[in-house]
Structure 1
Amino acid sequence: MDTIEHKSWFARNWGWAVPLGGCLTIIILFFVFLGSVIFGVSELITQSTPSQDAIAKVNEDDYVINILGEPIETNGIMNGSLSYENNVGSADISIPIKGPNGEAQLYVVGTKLNDQWTYKEMYVIIDATNEQIDLLGYEQDQYSNENEQ
């Protein structure tokens, strides 16, 4: 009885399997790298002083709490720009936030000089109504505009 040896699957298909496997490996590594960069930048913004100050300010604002409910927390990937160099910095970031009653965007624009952040703008835009609520002390204007309507 003669036995016929068959080549293995890889021996028969190596001509297309090796290039395809190499291309898939490169594509997978690219997406892992891209995900790492996005996560790293988002984490950098999340841990920044302007982001933490803004979240604290939102959680102290009774009007925003009344609209979104408690607790208010971040909701997704933050974006914008954040830079530090020689004790000078700037921030222009957007933070998606949510509460039990709705979602909103929190915007922060500020500068850092001698380890002190100064905020030019800090406001919330409610997704459902597009209402803009200033968190830097101008809430009275917002309330008076609503009462006039």
Structure 2
Amino acid sequence: MNDHIEHKSWFSRNWGWAVPVGGCLTLIILFFVFLGSLIFGVSELITESVPYQDAITMVNEDDYVVDILGEPIETNGIMNGNLSYKNNVGSADISIPIKGPKGEAQLYVVGTKQNDEWTYTEMYVIISETDEQIDLLGYEQDFQ
């Protein structure tokens, strides 16, 4: 006489803990994907903004900053600050970490936008090693 014992599958034996754990892991993964896309989206908005582009251009055109940091000068981390637009009026108060082969610095930009024209009240670099502040505005303050 052959006794055939039917065994339950792994899922049948373990569904009580496998379903909640699998559901929780799925939610955690979705949360981190959402968080990453949110951070990437905000970072992308700042890097494509006119104040950011103007500041990076000014840094790369300033011979003194290039002598101190070296070439190429690139961003070094996450930017922070405030950037807002509404009905052709805007404001920017951002801080951008930058670096070159010779050192690191922080780039600060403060400005306002009216009628599609940005006017900067502050645009300067602070060198990390020496805390030297370098004004980038000089005589040019309006960008279009």
Whether TM-score is above 0.5 comes out as yes
Provide the residue aligned with 1:39 in structure 2: 40
Q: Structure 2 CA distance, aligned partners of 1:20 and 1:50?
A: 46
Q: Which residue is equivalent to 2:97?
A: 96
Match in the other structure for 2:142: none
Whichever structure has more helix as a proportion of its residues is 1
Which runs of no fewer than 5 residues in structure 2 stay unpaired?
140-144
Q: Distance in 2 between matches of 1:24 and 1:115?
A: 47
SS of the counterpart of 2:17? Answer: helix
| Number of aligned residue pairs | 138
**CA-to-aligned-CA distance 1:5-57 (integer Å, 9 cap, x gap):** 22111111101111111111111111111111111000100000000000000
Match for residue 124 of structure 1? 125
Taking the TM superposition and a 5 Å limit, the aligned residue runs for 1:1-149 are 1-137=2-138
Q: Which runs of 5+ in 1 are unaligned?
A: 139-149
Structure 2: distance between partners of 1:86 and 1:17: 52
CA distance in 2, matches of 1:64, 1:49: 21
Root mean square deviation of aligned Cα: 1.2
Opposite residue 113 of structure 2, the aligned amino acid is K
Residue 2 of structure 1: how far off its partner (Å): 2.2
Instruction: Give me the TM-score of the superposition, normalised by structure 1.
Output: 0.88
- In 2, Cα distance between equivalents of 1:131 and 1:33: 39
Q: In structure 2, what is the Cα distance between the partners aligned to 1:67 and 1:107?
A: 17
Normalising by structure 2, what TM-score? 0.91
